[in-house]
Structure 1
Amino acid sequence: MNKSKWGRGGHLMNNSKWGPIGVGVATGFLSGLFGVGGGILMVPCLVLLLGMEQRRAHGTSLGAMVLISASALGGFLLEGSVAWAPGLLIFAGASVGVTVGTSLLDRVPIRLLRVGFALLLLATAARFLAIAPDTDGHSDITVALAFAYVACGLATGLLSGTMGVGGGVIMIPALILLFGFVDPTAKGTSLLVILPTSIVGTLRNRRSGNIDPKSALTVGTSGVASAFVGALGASALSPRLSGILFAILLIVSAVQMLRHANDPSPSSEAI
């Protein structure tokens, strides 16, 4: 007997583990290579390929990212490409910003925010495509710089809370273009922030029932190895090639944001 069934909208939901495994492997590699959560790929796959309901897909994606981001972070740690103090300062701001952003969901025109954010992503992508950022590493932390990191986290959290996206596509350009991080360290530090954010969000989604624990575990476990490989490969990319590939990711993110500009706001995902 065929164990597959047709999900919402005529999409095939595969009850075997091959569908979630494929999603996990692909998303894990993306997470490791670019230092992002991977939700920009995982959520559409869960909805369109596995027939999962949209809000539940966001929660499941966030749960899977706990394992995937931990593995990817491990790869960057081995390469010494994680800035602990800046990452913790950014997380401190993000934890406040995401709480405030979530409370603004019913007060702010979400469509306007999503369109504006998509335009920002496109402008950032153009900057990466035009010329490789000239960076020589982040500076030692001063009081002013510490406040700047917290402000970066606050802005990241606000955008995450109001638009249902995670922090990777925001943090990495900010760390490279504003704070002078070299590419691998920006990615590793981004994952350092994403990991605890994913844990907190998953606990919240579990209380509200917006997660499929079995699928999250399957997808997350499947992406552990590929995330680690992607993280090791990230350090081997030239800054120019890395910038071009990341610009493509930003463009894909912007297009998806515009396509869903009128959708109700989902729970935050780690991107």
Structure 2
Amino acid sequence: MNGRSESLKIAVEKPKTKEFKKRSTKLNLNWLLGGIIPLILLITWEVAGRIGLIEAHLLPTPTKIINEIINMGAAGTLWGHIGTTLLRVGAGFFLGTIAALILGSIVGYFTVFEKLMDPLIQAFRSIPSLAWVPLFILWMGIGESSKVTLIAVGVFFPVYLNIVSGIQGVDRKLIEVGKIYGFTSAQTLRKIILPASLPSFLVGLRSGLGLGWMFVVAAEIMGASKGLGYLLVVGQNTYSPHLVIASILLFAVIGKLTDSLLKNIEKKSLSWQDSFSNQR
């Protein structure tokens, strides 16, 4: 009996192991392919800097920039800046997403609220991010609240737009099925509309996170004493292009890592779809 159960266990685990290895190989291949062009650009940049095609005081070589990052990491200052920026982006992303989810669900589902609120929200969406900076400083000072609020504003609009678009694009037949089962408006929204609009919502999250990383630069210009945006200002004030580019490089790398995390969540959440992407 024990031998039979062991055989069954091995038979079940073997396909899982193969599937895991297949996914791992595919992931590694994707990372390798994605790194080809950046590697070529870095090598070209390094060679051009060393042979004098690019002036070092204007655009330092990648090795000098990487050395700057390593030195900051060894000194212990880098992790504080990265951690502070991550906390600000995380808090702003969470608040902006919650606000967008609530308002987007209401506006997308109720026509009356769309007519009442959407024109005003679209008008606010047209305001440049830097235009909010002096107002938030006047209202909330130069502390963390003004910075997080500015990031939340940046995250809000793309998430809101995608939620509204996703809800309004739900198949009408699904709504009719909910009515047949006697669903209330809240039940229809929770059990039918929100799951059906999930693909659009997840795309909005990725767009919102991207804007959150852009807005954090503007936020950290507002009197910050820590953060990657603060390093940009320090590099500008001290005429240190290697520090400025090191900060930009860190923004790019961390932004890509966080986007990859959301993309992985998106793929797992939508694995039930019979889509072109899932078949590749």
Fold-level similarity (TM above 0.5): no
Name the TM-score, length of structure 1 as normaliser: 0.32
Q: Which has the higher contact order (CA 8 A, sep 6+)?
A: 1
| The structure with more helix, counted as a fraction of residues | 2
Name the TM-score, length of structure 2 as normaliser: 0.31
Larger radius of gyration: 2
